[in-house]
Amino acid sequence: KSRIKSPESIVKKLKRYGYESSIDNMVDYINDIAGIRIVCSFTSDIYKLAEMIGKQNDLTVVSVKDYIKHPKESGYKSYHMLVTVPIFLSDRVVEIQIRTMAMDFWASLEHKIYYKFEGNAPQYISRDLRECSEIVSMLDAKMLQLNEAIIEARAAQEEDTDEV
Query: CB-based contacts of 50: which residues, under 8 Å, 6+ apart?
Result: 64, 79, 81, 98
What CA–CA distance (Å, rounded) separates 136 from 44? Answer: 15
B/e letters for 94-129, b = 16+ CB within 10 Å, e = fewer, are: bbbbbbbebbbebbeebeebbeeeeeebeeeebeeb
**Which one of 8, 20, 51, 95 is the catalytic residue?**
95
Among residues 97, 124, 92, the alpha carbon closest in space to that of 108 is found at: 97
Question: 20 an active-site residue?
Answer: no
Active site residues: 95
